[in-house]
Amino acid sequence: MKIVVVSDSHRDYHKLKYVVEKNLDADAFIHLGDGEHEFNDVRNLHPEKSFLFVKGNCDYADNKTIRIANANGIKILCVHGHEQDVHRGLELLIDTAKQNGCQIALYGHTHLYRTEFIDGIYIMNPGSIDSPRDKRPPTYGVLTISEDNKITMNIVAIEYNAQA
């Protein structure tokens, strides 16, 4: 199972559309917040695909800030990260994942990509497709869960050409 994970698109419809259309072989798309408008627009272009969204600190619609996804029986915590205070550390994120029986925790908010395995939890921040920090490139994540439940996480730099 291939899951594309994005965060912090901050109204950049074209980059989000680019990422989705470059990955139409994905089984699901997860947006970790701060991009509700473009998320809805891109989701409407591909009603045959599975999309999940969590509310970020810059979103205003009545969306959930914590969601639990299920992929091949593996539970995935999906949050933006502002409520888990991820700028200060990942302890609350890891605790929330464990309390919900999740093996994977996905978060955004910091605009910095990261993949780790901490205290039995696979952790991924896909970075930002619109406004990365620390001179990093725009990125998104690809989470793969094999049939034998092997988990792999990859960060993909966006090679987006606005003229294309």
pTM: 0.95
163 pLDDT more than 80: no
pLDDT tens string 1-20: 999 999 999 999 999 999 99
State how far the Cα of 123 lies from the Cα of 50, in Å rounded to an integer. Answer: 21
DSSP secondary structure letter of residue 124: E
pLDDT tens string 92-143: 999 999 999 999 999 999 999 999 999 999 999 999 998 889 988 999 999 9
pLDDT tens string 65-100: 999 999 999 999 999 999 999 999 999 999 999 999
Helices 36-45, 13-22: crossing angle, 10 deg rounding: 40
Residue 98: count of CB within 10 angstroms of its CB: 15
Secondary structure of 22-72 in the HEC alphabet? HCCCCCEEEECCCCHHHHHHHHHHCCCCEEEECCCCCCCCCCCCEEEEEEC
The CATH H-level (homologous superfamily) assignment of domain 2-157 is Metallo-dependent phosphatases (3.60.21.10)
State how far the Cα of 138 lies from the Cα of 127, in Å rounded to an integer. Answer: 7
Mean pLDDT of all residues in the chain? 95
Q: What pLDDT shows up at residue 49?
A: 96
Q: What pLDDT shows up at residue 147?
A: 92
Residue spans per domain, the chain:
2-157
Q: What pLDDT shows up at residue 52?
A: 97
DSSP secondary structure letter of residue 106: E
Question: Residue 63 to residues 15, 32, 134: CA-CA distances in angstroms?
Answer: 22, 11, 29
pLDDT tens string 24-45: 999 999 999 999 999 999 999 9
